[in-house]
Structure 1
């Protein structure tokens, strides 16, 4: 089945969005991506002036009642990506974990389906599963190169955010060894066609600075407690900051607080001052017309 966007107008729109997303990695400033999992969250960020939006695989899986780690099907992932892409004017980059395939051809075909769904960027990981072994560098490079070749053929520069799990895997390696391995992989991944390197769980300023300097590549950092400040990361040369599932965690905590209050105290204070109003939500929803039929 041909999963490429066939109409010329669609392809040109995707190419324009991909070009815009790629340019955001060149600065000036830090590209901040509070990852979302549904169209409403995407529209909220667009309404706040974010120039691009991103999904987080963990947030998507959690919202569907599953754990992270390709526990939902690829078709289910696409079913989430497509309406998010349709809901906003800004570029969307999608987290597709390990690509839902092992072979370069399989990963490239899945990336083609993501592009056809409207996302112009992807995250692709280099481990077999979170906390497990890393793929050989040449194997991961072949997967990245296949995605780049597919995108070139489609006429859209899909932005590849190459995630390396060097800092996640169980290993007796020293911190300096991990930094060296990250730099080595980063250079190879960029040469294979990646646009950005994502050394997830690297966060202290010295480590990040060494990776930025050693690779010369745009670097994506995962924002979490204990990570250097946004201003320090930007000064160190980091180009992209993402929140992973942390926005969903914050939203779920707010829901839990209201639910606990109602069950335990019978109160409604959680709906009070400071809560977004229905009129505000309608304004966000009506800010962009969804294509096709009503749901």
Structure 2
């Protein structure tokens, strides 16, 4: 579990799924409920398969019925799902996606089911290996530039944590640890002059209260990356595009901001942030900006409106009529 994720141990939402060297389905399980004939038990399916033991049932009721319940309970290395309630006969499907508590065997159970479905008998229990077996197959991931799209455009915490932890493993040449990743990031921040007094780096997603940063440090990072030919193109491309995609699809739709604002959003219960660039016309460099707001609980809409107003002012400055 990434640092600080333990602050919400009873939160099963997929946004805080754990990370592991072998991960499947972003270390989440999805329950799909399909109605059958009225009065009959609904079909309850979990994906990936094999990892969840189901207790209880969901009943197919009359049209318009709604109220499916799902409670997940750790059961050793697996999960037990307690399901209940009713689903309308007219409903297509009802889906819930939840994180797993321990992902170490998630892929193993899914592999066991896949082998059995292929007609291969599998005996014994699924267990974690010792790591000393022969390599039977090797899979190379997509390039980092592609993986970053999930982080920059969609704020995917799982991808952020996996990439962050991998940094530690790649630089230290040993099994990945969050502490090694934090050390690697801190060293780079110091190299570009962006590590300021009071800054803290512990996890890769920024969830909970693990990290501390300043707006000036963020703009220093943005300037350093933009000036580095090896980083600029891929980094800017993975950011959300104002009025076009990702978390900014419905923001910055005004003419001079649309597609000219490239930024990463940040949202916590009591903090909101936006950092990125306002691109300028050909021959004019971008404006790097960072806005970090604390104390926004209950005022998220107003905070975003204030940030958007400020960034729109920068866009109008870059693109005068």
**TM superposition score normalised by structure 2:** 0.26
Q: Which has the larger radius of gyration?
A: 2
More helix by proportion, 1 or 2?
1
More strand by proportion, 1 or 2?
2
Higher relative contact order (CA 8 A, sep 6+): 1
